[in-house]
Every structure is written in C-alpha cells, then in structure tokens.
Structure 1
Amino acid sequence: DTVLKEACLSLPDHEDGVDETYKAETILMGIGFSSDDLNLHPMDLSGGYQVRLNLAKVLVSDPNILLLDEPTNYLDIVSMRWLARFLRGWQKELIIITHDRNFMDSVTTHTMAIHRCKVRKVPGSTEKLYQQLLLEEEVYEKTRTNDEKKRKETEQFINRFRAKATKARAVQSRVKALQKKEQLEELSEIKKLAFTFNSAPFTGRQLMEVKDLSFGFAPDGSLLIENLNFYVGKKDRIAIIGKNGKGKTTLLNLLAGELSPVGGAIRCPRDLKLAYFGQTNINRLNLRKTVEEEIMDVHPEHHRGAARSICGAMMFPGDQALKKVGVLSGGEKSRVLLGKLLVTPANMLLLDEPTNHLDMESTDSLLEAIDDFRGAVVIVTHSEMILHALATRLIVFDDGKVTLFEGRYQGFLDRVGWKNEDPSPRPATSETGRARPSGNRKHLRRIRAGLISERSRTLGALQRKINEIEGEIIRLEEKAEQDHDDLIKVIKASVAGDAETIGRLSKALHDSKPEIESLFSSLESLHSELDSRTKEFEEKLNAVEI
C-alpha cells in the first residue's frame, strides 16, 4: 500500500470506470505531501501526516455535506492557504469547527456559536456574530435593570397599600402581574485568559544581532540555515514563517541558546532578558508539582499571592491552582507555560506557535498583550490573522532557503509570494469565461477600476439601507419603551385609570412589536445580501489581478 492508493480508496465509484487518481494526487499535494511522500506506506508517516492523509480521504470522497473538526491542525501556512481556496470553491454544504478566525471567515457564509449554553447562528463573519452577541447582552442588561427598578416600585406599592381596603383590587392586580412576570437573572461573567507580559527595561537600540548564521543536523553537512543575517530592534515584531520541518523552531532554539550554530554568530548585550515559549517546553514541566508551584518557581520573589493571581489569569482560579501538572490536558499545560512567561521579566519574547490550544477570545487577549509589550517579539506562527496583525518583518523559510523580508505579510504576498503555492493553477478568467491576456495590464487596470467603482456603488447603497433600518429600529424601540413607561404612570395615577389613554398606549405597544420584528427580518436579509455581494466582488477582482 502507498499513501496515494490509501487516499484513492475514498474516491466515489463510477460505473464507466473513469480513473480519478489525479484528484487524490492534487489534494495530497495541496495539503503538503511531496511527490516522494505519495509512494510511502501510510504507517511510515508521522502522526501529523497521518492526520493530513485522513483529511485528504475526506476531501476526495466528495460528500454531500462536509464536516470538518479543526482541519488546520498539523497544517502549515501554505497548506492552510491551499485548503482555504479548496473550501471556498466547495459547492455543497460545509460545517467547520476551528479556532482560526481568519480561516473560518474566509470559507464560510454563516457563523454559529455556543454562547451561554445556547446555539446562535448569524449570516456573516465571526466579528459580526460577536458584535450581535454583545449588542444583545447590552439590551438584556438594560432590560433587566429597568425590570428590576419597576419590580421594586411595584413591591413598594404593594407593601404600602396592602392593608387599605380601597386599594385591595389594585394591590391584588399588581401581585398577580408581579408573579406572572419573568425575573431576568444577572448575566454571569464569562472567564477568559488575561495576559500582561512583564517588561524588563532595555536602554540600547538592538537586542540581538545575527551574523552569517548557519546550522544543520545532517551528518553530510547539508544545512537547514545558511548565512542568515538580521538584527532584532528593541520594539521589533518579527515573524518566522514557512512550511513544516524547514527549520523555524530550530532557529528559535538557536536564538534562545539551546542549540549552537555551526557557523556565524549570535551577539547579545548583557542586559538582554529572554522569555521563551517553545513547543517542547511542555515536556520540561515537573509533573509532580502543582500549577501554583510551577508559577512560583519563576517568580522573581517567589511570591505566592502574585503566583495565585497569575493562576487566576490563566483560568486556574482557587483550588484549581493546586492541581498537579501531571493531570492537566495539553491545552492546560500550555496555559501553565504562558503563565510562567507572564511572571518572567523580559525584554525579548520568543514564541513558538503560542496560540495552539487557545480559543478565539484567548488568542485576541494574547495579541493585545503582545501589542502592549514594550520589548521585542520573535514569533513562529501559521496564523495569517496574527501575521497581518503583528508582524513588521519576516524571516521566510521557502524554496529551500531562508531569507529576511523587510515589511509586512501582505507586502510579502504581493511582492514575493510563496514558491509553487499552486502547482496546477487554473487560467484566470474574465466575466465572459475567457482566459485573460497576460500582457494588457492597462486594460486590466481599467477593468479593476470599473469593478471597484461598481462595488462602491452597490455595497454603499446596501449599507445605507442597513443604516436606515437600524435607525428606525432604534427609534421604534425607544418609542415602545416610552409608551410602556407612560402606560405604567397612567395606571399608577388612578385605580380606574384613564381608559382612553390606556387603550391608546396598549395599542401602540401591540402594533410596534410586529413592525420591529419585520424590520429585523429585513435587516437580516440585507446583511446576507451585503455579505454575498461582497464575496462576489472579491471573486471578480481576484479574477483580474494585475
């Protein structure tokens, strides 16, 4: 058996006997297998590549619905980009679980979340979902506060007039209304990781200088890294990127002093203070120690109170800080390592895929902490979201060599790009379906300008409609709230009440509800259309790239 034959077992059967081995080969190559790997026995693969093989078998089976649970695990950045393109072209149903927000938003039309033990689904991106949840919780809390205020007023009325015979009917009416009305519970605080790195002072300009660095493991003298030169400024954000197994972690180990170069030098000033989060550092944790003890070991003053505070920030509150490291999951051990990093005074952070095992909210917290850190950061990551958000310089492992790129990740994609990223690119087509001419750049610019202008008009009109409806919803909700308050005041003013006013206000409240619901329905349709048209214009613009 070979890897290719194993993948072909999942190809759909065809009565005419058409050979579709090429489909399996294309998918395997897309997710990172080399030509030589295709002839290996599946049992000779590493654990990560066996996971990739299982992913390939699912993709080649061409199911009616594709269910993917963390498909980007064990994929490198180039394979993730290929998988994103594949899924964007998928014409059938797709449900995907992933903590990579950028990847999810690039391949999905709707986002679903489990929030406070309920499932929520909205059209659009994760950002839109979180904004919707935040808005709903703000409205809920405002409603709860108002209800609590009105409940106290009603209870005061009942207590005040309970003993008076003339108010007996009104009191009983209020008591029944109070019993029927649901009491909203205060929302509990959702726990998430809290990061603040401990910055150590540094007065110089450069924290590290790497000169003609070379390194290799092979006995024949072949090198993973050859003649690499760069420096690390005191506020640099440098990302190390590339395919798996090319030397990214090895470079971090060299910078951390855990490996010695075979050539060149790494020069550091005396007041350099490194903090290193490595993939294999989990194995260095003492399994017999508690979480609290591991944190205290690296605290400058071995302060238990400070250690407990860090444990809480890493979601080990109270007695959970007394758990033995040996009983923790891989994700929990990563949080212990991050906790040790937080209490270590440092002016340079070395981070090797720190977002592994972190959810979306925790990843956002980590990004904020890195952004606030006053020292330099060198990070290995496959997340394009992190690269776009943080990296100002890149060390790139690609095409058999390692090079320094002075600039951001988008600039690298635009000016350099990944070597052989798409081994079998399809000819780009215009809207008429014909292959675009490669030489007429002036014509392409005119097409792009026209598309950009059309996109601005179309999306702008949709956004204006959305803004109008949102404004009308806010107006109606404020009016309904005012009518409700007026109705309570009228009822309070008299036992008999003002029948005409009560009837008018009740009718206004009744009529406003279906109108608001109808506007929300229209708003959802417009958001769906906006997302759909946005993707449509992106595809058209990608088809006429200059």
Structure 2
Amino acid sequence: MIQFSNLSKSFGSQELFSNLNFQLNPGNKVGLVGRNGSGKSTLFKIILGEESPDSGEVITPKGYRIGALKQYLHFTEPTLREEAALALGEEMQYDFYRVEKILFGLGFDQEDLDKDPGSFSGGYQIRINLAKLLVTEPNLLLLDEPTNYLDILSLRWLKAFLRSFKGEVILITHDRDFMDSIVTHTMGLVRRSLFVIPGDTHKFYDQLKANDELYEKQKAADDKKRKELEDFIARNKARASTAALAQSKVKQLEKMGEMDDLGFDPTLTFDFNFKETPAKVLLDVKGLSFGYTPEHLLFKDVSFTLEKGQCLAIIGKNGSGKSTLLNNIAGELTPLGGEVAFHPSTSFGHFGQTNISRLNPGNTIMEEIYEANPKLSASVVRGICGGMMFSGDLAEKKVSLLSGGEKSRVMLGQILARPANLLFLDEPTHHLDIDSIEALMVAIENFKGSCIIVTHSEEMLRRVADRLIIFSKNGAEYFDGGYDDFLAKIGWGEEDQVERVKTAPKNNYKANKKEINALTRERSKATAPLRKAVEKLEKAIMESESAIKTLHAELVAASNSGDNSRVMELHQTVAKEEKAVEADFERLAEAQEKLDELMESYEKRFAELEG
C-alpha cells in the first residue's frame, strides 16, 4: 500500500498539481491519465524519490518495494543469465537459480541463458529489463509508456503478463486499449487535481464529463443568484427604508463564495481535407518486391487494390518491413520489382516516422503549414494551427522549441493543409496523448478517402482497418478482412506467445537454498569453458557472414560494371570465407552438444534438490 498526502509540485510559475491525496490498495492496477505536460511522469519521479515535492509526502509501508521498468535497452554483460543477475543484491550475488526461475517464467528457454542479451528481439529485450526488475521482488510496478516501440506481439504478451501480476501497478500509456485491458482503476491529473474512479478510461471520462456538466449547472445557478443579490443591493442600499435589508444581502453575498470557471484543456479537433475524385480505385499495386540486396527481400509479390473509402493496415513485428512497404508505395523508395499505379486524380498526404526530421527547426509552426500549401490565407493557416492546439501566439512558436508530440501535431497540420483523398500514416499515434489519439481515430473514421496505416494499436486496427497486409514468417500477405477477422481465421500462430506468460514464481526453496547456490556456482564453473567456446564461434560466424554479405554486394557491383578480373577475385574470396564458416559451424555444433549434455546433467541434480 502506498499513500499520497497533500502532494504539490510546481516548476517556476507553472503549477502541475496541488494537494494530491490518494491511497493505493493491495492488488490495485491503476491507469494514470492526463494531457501531455500535466505532470504524470513528474508524479512517478516523486514516488521513486528522484524528484522532491514542493509540499506533502509519499508514505510507503516498511519493506514495501517499488520498481520502475526501464524503457531504454542497454546491456553490459555477455550472457542473458549474467545480465539478469546484475539486479541481485550482494547477499544473493550467486543466486543464479532464482534469476533463471524468473527468466523461465517470462518465456525464455534453457538455451537462451547463455545467449548475448543484445541478440534477442525488441520484445524479448523488454522482458530482460522486466526480469531484472522482478528479481528485486517489487510490490509495486511503475510503468511509464512501456508500450513505446513494442510491436503487436510484444504488446499482447506484456498485456497478459501485467494482468497476471500479483502486486500493484501504476501505468502511464497513450495506448488506451492496452490500459483498459489491465487496470482496476483509472486516475487522472485534471486541472491540477487528482480524480480516481474504479473502472477503465471510458468510465473515467464519462464520469468526468458528468461531473463537469453538474458543476457548470451549479455555477450557472450560483451566478444567477449572485447577480440577483448584486442588483438588489445596488437598488436598495441608498434608501434609508431598505438600507438594513440591503446590508443583510451584502452579508449573504459574502458568505456565498464564488465558484471558479472550469479551465478546459485544449483538445485536438479536426477533419482531414478531402479532395473530391471520380475514381473508384485510387491505388493499384502489382507484384511489389523490395530488399536492400536482391538476395534478401523484405517482401515479394505484394498485390492489392485500394478503393475510395477503404482503409488498409500494415501489421507485423518490428523490423519486418512495414514502414519500408509504405515508403515504396508512397514513392519514397524504389521497388526492385512490380509497380504502383495511382488514379490521375489521386492526391495523398504522408505522415512518416522520418518526416519529423524534415521539419525546419528555424521555422515557426505557421511557416511550416504555409510550406505545405503556400496558397492558403493567414486565417485558414491559423485555423489549422488552432485545430492542432496551437492557438494565438503559440502558432508563432519555433519548431526547434517543440516536443516530439508537438512536432507530430505540426505534421498532421501539414497534411490538413493539402487537400487529399489518400492518406499514408506511419505510426501516427506516437507522441500523442489519449485525447489526441481519439480525435485522430475519429478523423480517420470520418475521412471520405482511403488510408494506408502502419500501427501497433489494436484499438486503431479494430476501428478503422477493413483489410490488412500481415508481415509474418511467411513474408507479407494480403488479407481481405478486418483485424478481428484475421485473429479469428488465422491469428498470429506460433509467433504469438501470450500463452507462455506466467507470473514470476515465488522462491519457495529456502530449505535447499545453500545446496542450490553451491550447485549453481559449480555448474557455472564447469560450463564456463564450453560457453566461452560457443560464444567465440558464434561471434566468428557472425563476422564471417557479415563479410560475405559485403563481398556479395561488391560482387554484384563488379558484375554490373563488367570488371571480370575483380569478379573472379571476389568469387575466390567468397568461396574461402564460406568454407571457413562451414568449419566453424561444425566446431560450434560439437561444442554446443557437449554443453547441452553437461547442462542436462546439472538440471537433473537441480530437480532432485528442488524435490
């Protein structure tokens, strides 16, 4: 259990929050919401002791452990086992068995323990950070945007894990569907105060709206009563016969107090600017293929048509080629094969992951909107700026002074400045808060044209996508249906490992702890030479394969230029390197087999000790 008592925090003249009071009860999983800049991350830092409140305190019971999941992925140890063991205290520095139990609970296998932590996918690297956190046995997890840069499969795994976690959770995320699937309560920083209700974000915002409407009605009645009293006093205070009565009304007015106006945060409000088109089919893609070398294609023979009003989503793991496919269709990259044909009346707007870097840091927000469409009037540009939450003087703010979320809104503003009937949107929810994401989804739903979207948001997929391109182990495949249809008919199969999620196990082996620790140290010493041999061979193979890849590229270039002598030289070098790789693979298989046998013998001994 953790308590906030009268917490207040300001930065200069900006007050983030004041007199916050809250109690987190056992088993609570709380979603923390609020506009960007409302103080959510600052509140986390105060809980962790990284920031001091101006007044008030955070009260935690004795022995209550708080852990925060790190977003950055930086590993220093050569193996997964050693990296996870960094979280062990001095008194448990050899307690590897405890670390392994947690790693297995998070879906790692025995063979993973001796791999380089940097060799795992992004989703599994997040699990490594989570394992290091769980080794400390925290009672409370603080998660600040844990969904950033995770693909759909990693998001589905993390969602299942947090639902099964036995302790308390406070979660900040812009992914509303992710939050709602986990939380027991929603807590919001609203107008510098804290508002908490049981239930998800939909119940929270419905209740907040109802409370605001009731407050406004009460204020209107209060203002009406105040005006009547003021008028009575003004009419009667000068007359001797009514002066006493007027004075009593003055006292009544003084006792009333005054209800403040509700300060409403600006909200993203807009509709994409649809350009009329007679076309039924806006886009026809035939046999599209691309790779950075012809031997290693990211996708092959992708074909589909996109009619007016349709929305196609491109989904899959990180690094699979989703953004690359979108950039091929948008003309940012040149495909190796196939063709992309637009109807002559097609006009598109492109929101890309790399487009933020194209904003001119020396320009103001208004100047950036003008660059998208110089024909617009100043009033129209200011209207677009206002819709993107840059009203008044904010529209004159320099791009160099903007946050990531603000720059994303400028890019959306640029799309609004161009009339379009086809939108390319690559992760458009990044850096936007929950309210802004909701406004974006409504705008996409209302758009009369067509969309192609890359997103990991399952809520966005369900709401706007009516057809898909799925990147899986079989390549990129077109699916004529929505996301729920895909899950029902095909699903993620073996790639979706949600079913492997278990709660991190409790350590109930104290009786044999001494023997287990001794055996762990013995195993580590016995297997160390073989593990080092395996790592050395794996590194040598990776370096050789990288060299071969470079040589192949040189070979293609030499062949294209007609340099036959260079071609012969490169062929001989490639053959030599490939022979060396084959020999290393044979030695690796032999060393790995010996290591596996040794590990299996120790596993039997551990099982006997564990009983």
Q: How many Å apart are 1:320 and its aligned residue?
A: 2.2
* 1:8 and 1:24 in contact (8 A); partners too: no
Q: How many Å apart are 1:149 and its aligned residue?
A: 0.8
Q: How many Å apart are 1:362 and its aligned residue?
A: 0.6
1:130 is matched with which residue? Answer: 205
Alignment gaps of 5+ in structure 1? 429-546
Residue by residue, what CA displacement relative to the aligned partner does 1:307-348 show, whole Å, maximum 9, x if unpaired?
222122212222222222222222221111111011111110
Distance in structure 2 (CA, Å) of the matches to 1:229 and 1:47: 29
1:116 is matched with which residue? Answer: 191
1:405 is matched with which residue? Answer: 479
2:230 is matched with which residue? Answer: 155
244, 252, 268: which one aligns with 1:193:
268
Structure 1 segment 50-89 matched on structure 2, within 5 A: 53-89=128-164
Summarize the Cα distance change of 1:52–1:312 in structure 2 as closer, same or farther, 3 Å threshold. farther
Equivalent position SS for 1:261: coil
Residue by residue, what CA displacement relative to the aligned partner does 1:124-143 show, whole Å, maximum 9, x if unpaired?
01011111111111111101
Equivalent position SS for 2:350: strand
**Higher-strand-fraction structure:** 2
1:281 is matched with which residue? Answer: 355
Equivalent position SS for 1:217: strand
1:2 is matched with which residue? Answer: 78
Residue by residue, what CA displacement relative to the aligned partner does 1:2-33 show, whole Å, maximum 9, x if unpaired?
35121233368599874441522553769xxx
Q: How many Å apart are 1:50 and its aligned residue?
A: 6.6
The amino acid of 1:113's aligned partner reads G
* 1:351 and 1:377 in contact (8 A); partners too: yes
Residue by residue, what CA displacement relative to the aligned partner does 1:185-243 show, whole Å, maximum 9, x if unpaired?
22233201122211111112111111121111136x12110111111111111111111
2:387 is matched with which residue? Answer: 313
Given the alignment of the two structures, is residue 27 of structure 1 paired with residue 106 of structure 2, yes or no? yes
* 1:254 and 1:261 in contact (8 A); partners too: yes
Summarize the Cα distance change of 1:48–1:388 in structure 2 as closer, same or farther, 3 Å threshold. closer
* 2:106 and 2:500 in contact (8 A); partners too: no
1:238 is matched with which residue? Answer: 312
406, 431, 439: which one aligns with 1:365:
439
Equivalent position SS for 2:188: strand
Alignment gaps of 5+ in structure 2? 1-76, 503-611
Equivalent position SS for 2:471: strand
Given the alignment of the two structures, is residue 396 of structure 1 paired with residue 396 of structure 2, yes or no? no
Summarize the Cα distance change of 1:59–1:234 in structure 2 as closer, same or farther, 3 Å threshold. farther
Summarize the Cα distance change of 1:222–1:110 in structure 2 as closer, same or farther, 3 Å threshold. same
Distance in structure 2 (CA, Å) of the matches to 1:143 and 1:427: 50
Summarize the Cα distance change of 1:369–1:300 in structure 2 as closer, same or farther, 3 Å threshold. farther
Distance in structure 2 (CA, Å) of the matches to 1:247 and 1:321: 36
* 1:49 and 1:74 in contact (8 A); partners too: no
Summarize the Cα distance change of 1:295–1:111 in structure 2 as closer, same or farther, 3 Å threshold. same
- Percent of residue pairs bearing the same amino acid type: 48
Distance in structure 2 (CA, Å) of the matches to 1:424 and 1:369: 32
The amino acid of 1:340's aligned partner reads Q
Summarize the Cα distance change of 1:314–1:349 in structure 2 as closer, same or farther, 3 Å threshold. same
Summarize the Cα distance change of 1:59–1:396 in structure 2 as closer, same or farther, 3 Å threshold. farther
Equivalent position SS for 2:448: coil
Deviates more, 1:164-173 or 1:12-21: 12-21
Equivalent position SS for 1:95: strand
Equivalent position SS for 2:293: coil
The amino acid of 2:102's aligned partner reads K
Equivalent position SS for 1:71: coil
Deviates more, 1:269-278 or 1:116-125: 269-278
Summarize the Cα distance change of 1:68–1:254 in structure 2 as closer, same or farther, 3 Å threshold. same
2:346 is matched with which residue? Answer: 272
Given the alignment of the two structures, is residue 218 of structure 1 paired with residue 293 of structure 2, yes or no? yes
Deviates more, 1:166-175 or 1:293-302: 166-175
Distance in structure 2 (CA, Å) of the matches to 1:281 and 1:35: 41
1:202 is matched with which residue? Answer: 277
* TM-score, normalisation: structure 1: 0.72
- Equivalent residues, number: 423
Equivalent position SS for 1:216: strand
2:258 is matched with which residue? Answer: 183
Equivalent position SS for 1:355: coil
1:475 is matched with which residue? Answer: none
Residue by residue, what CA displacement relative to the aligned partner does 1:62-98 show, whole Å, maximum 9, x if unpaired?
3111111111112111100100000000111111111
Q: How many Å apart are 1:162 and its aligned residue?
A: 2.3
2:181 is matched with which residue? Answer: 106
* 1:84 and 1:107 in contact (8 A); partners too: yes
Summarize the Cα distance change of 1:310–1:60 in structure 2 as closer, same or farther, 3 Å threshold. farther
CA RMSD for the aligned pairs?
A: 2.8
Q: How many Å apart are 1:37 and its aligned residue?
A: 11
Distance in structure 2 (CA, Å) of the matches to 1:340 and 1:390: 22
Summarize the Cα distance change of 1:136–1:35 in structure 2 as closer, same or farther, 3 Å threshold. farther
2:170 is matched with which residue? Answer: 95
Summarize the Cα distance change of 1:419–1:59 in structure 2 as closer, same or farther, 3 Å threshold. farther
Distance in structure 1 (CA, Å) of the matches to 2:246 and 2:281: 77
Summarize the Cα distance change of 1:133–1:307 in structure 2 as closer, same or farther, 3 Å threshold. same
Equivalent position SS for 1:198: coil
Structure 1 segment 309-388 matched on structure 2, within 5 A: 309-388=383-462
Residue by residue, what CA displacement relative to the aligned partner does 1:509-545 show, whole Å, maximum 9, x if unpaired?
xxxxxxxxxxxxxxxxxxxxxxxxxxxxxxxxxxxxx
Summarize the Cα distance change of 1:423–1:355 in structure 2 as closer, same or farther, 3 Å threshold. closer
* 1:24 and 1:60 in contact (8 A); partners too: no
Q: How many Å apart are 1:61 and its aligned residue?
A: 3.7
Equivalent position SS for 2:297: coil
The amino acid of 1:313's aligned partner reads G
Deviates more, 1:74-83 or 1:305-314: 305-314
246, 260, 265: which one aligns with 1:171:
246
The amino acid of 1:194's aligned partner reads T
* 1:292 and 1:322 in contact (8 A); partners too: yes
293, 299, 309: which one aligns with 2:373:
299
Distance in structure 1 (CA, Å) of the matches to 2:331 and 2:477: 21
Q: How many Å apart are 1:247 and its aligned residue?
A: 0.5
Summarize the Cα distance change of 1:128–1:287 in structure 2 as closer, same or farther, 3 Å threshold. same
Summarize the Cα distance change of 1:292–1:49 in structure 2 as closer, same or farther, 3 Å threshold. farther
1:482 is matched with which residue? Answer: none
* 2:290 and 2:299 in contact (8 A); partners too: yes
Q: Greater RCO between the two (CA within 8 Å, min separation 6)?
A: 2
Q: How many Å apart are 1:399 and its aligned residue?
A: 2.2
* 2:161 and 2:501 in contact (8 A); partners too: no
Summarize the Cα distance change of 1:229–1:37 in structure 2 as closer, same or farther, 3 Å threshold. farther
Distance in structure 1 (CA, Å) of the matches to 2:199 and 2:288: 46
The amino acid of 1:330's aligned partner reads G
* 1:28 and 1:56 in contact (8 A); partners too: no
Distance in structure 2 (CA, Å) of the matches to 1:37 and 1:324: 49
Distance in structure 1 (CA, Å) of the matches to 2:114 and 2:482: 35
* 1:3 and 1:40 in contact (8 A); partners too: yes
* 2:286 and 2:340 in contact (8 A); partners too: yes
Distance in structure 2 (CA, Å) of the matches to 1:232 and 1:38: 47
Residue by residue, what CA displacement relative to the aligned partner does 1:241-263 show, whole Å, maximum 9, x if unpaired?
11100010001001101111112
